[in-house]
Amino acid sequence: MTEGNFVDYVKIHVFSGKGGKGSAHLHREKYITKGGPDGGDGGRGGHVIVKGNENLWTLFHLKFKRHVKAEHGGNGSKQRSSGAQGTDEYIHVPLGTVIRDTETNEIIKEITEDGQEFIIAEGGKGGLGNWHFKSSTNQTPRYAQPGIDGQQVDITLELKVLADVGLVGFPNAGKSTLLSVITAAKPKIANYEFTTLKPNLGIVQYRDFQTFVVADIPGIIEGAAEGRGLGHRFLRHIERNSTLLFLIPSDAKDIKEQYDILVDELRRYNPELMDKDRLIAISKSDLLDEELKAEMKSQLDKELDFPYLFISSVAQKGLQELKDKLWQMLN
């Protein structure tokens, strides 16, 4: 998928800088006849470094970047002065980026942490200046080392899905509470909107040795696609989930309306989100009595276009059924 502004796959040619030449300079000064060698070392060529950045969510900023070149090292010069080090070049990537060798398709590295740095192409070493080669038998070496060439690597960057299931809902819908009861995560929970400001991930231990990852995302409000509420930042997370779990509280005035607003925001943000699998959970169903629930069911059966179920994190109801359903959708 490389359409629109969600880019999760790019190929880049990477070149590190060549090392600077060592200098073969001979010291000359008035009245000093044999100054001797004083050529400085060449500077190291710049590295190309891939660096994790938790504020990035796609590889879109690299879409048109075919080449990344680091600077060459400076040459050494007289008076043993070393050449400047070539500036390192950074490729900033979101967490969950896999670096592959384009030719062999082998995984070179996976970037998982903010600030993590990986040198993908090492800058060439600078050559040594001639004064290093001075010896008893050669007092004035006219030889200095050349710099070592930089490296050239073709890499493919690929973004992995961040979590299998993304929780989608208005603020206060009970998303964090659900995460806290189906995983070991301990997100902040409170009875006000925008308690969650940053996504939380949790791992669901499913049956025996199976697991899947759920992402708790800050609440979405009408206008989110235009940047209202917490803006674009969290909608980007959803692009990286393979299944969407809509959470709508049973005490919502109109469940279908809330669902429609959420779907609409997602569509306006990125129409491709409509291709993802959806499940709808009516949360806080402990607030309903059986009669009300039955009434709601007959209504929702007509209104909703995707499967739904009733859950209660507080009363621990419907949670196994929910996990079963999600597992089934993911596999």
Ligand X SMILES: Nc1nc2c(ncn2[C@@H]2O[C@H](COP(=O)(O)OP(=O)(O)OP(=O)(O)O)[C@@H](O)[C@H]2O)c(=O)[nH]1
Give me the residues that bind ligand X (CB under 6 A), please.
169, 171-177, 189-191, 193-196, 218-219, 283-284, 286-287, 312-314
Of residues 12 and 282, the one with the C-beta less far from ligand X: 282
Of residues 196 and 250, the one with the C-beta less far from Mg ion: 196
Q: Give min distance, CB of 91 to Mg ion, in A.
A: 33
Q: Give me the long-range contacts of 191-200 (CB less than 8 A, separation at least 24).
A: 193/219, 194/218, 194/219, 194/229, 194/230, 195/171, 197/230, 199/234, 199/237, 200/176
Q: Name which of ligand X, Mg ion, none residue 123 binds, using a CB cut-off of 5 to 8 Å depending on partner kind.
A: none
The length of the chain in residues reads 331
Q: How far apart are CA 10 and CA 7, in angstroms?
A: 8
- Each residue 196-235 as x (binds Mg ion by CB under 5 A) or -, in order, gives x---------------------------------------
- Each residue 310-329 as x (binds Mg ion by CB under 5 A) or -, in order, gives --------------------
Q: How far apart are CA 94 and CA 170, in angstroms?
A: 26
> At residue 115, what are phi and psi to the nearest 5 degrees?
85, -10
Q: How far apart are CA 239 and CA 261, in angstroms?
A: 18
If DSSP codes are grouped into helix, strand and coil, which group holds residue 231?
coil
Of residues 133 and 246, the one with the C-beta less far from ligand X: 246
If DSSP codes are grouped into helix, strand and coil, which group holds residue 109?
strand
- Each residue 121-160 as x (binds Mg ion by CB under 5 A) or -, in order, gives ----------------------------------------
Of residues 81 and 195, the one with the C-beta less far from Mg ion: 195
In our burial notation (b when 16+ CB lie closer than 10 A, e otherwise), range 226-239 reads eeebbeebbbbbbb
**Do residues 306 and 40 touch, judged by C-beta distance below 8 A?**
no
Of residues 7 and 311, the one with the C-beta less far from ligand X: 311
Q: Name which of Mg ion, ligand X, none residue 284 binds, using a CB cut-off of 5 to 8 Å depending on partner kind.
A: ligand X
Q: Name which of ligand X, Mg ion, none residue 191 binds, using a CB cut-off of 5 to 8 Å depending on partner kind.
A: ligand X
Span from 52-60, 102-110, 170-178, 310-318 in contact with Mg ion (CB under 5 A): 170-178
**Residue (of 192, 235, 199, 232) closest to 216 by Cα position:** 199
Interface with Mg ion by CB under 5 A: which residues? 176, 195-196
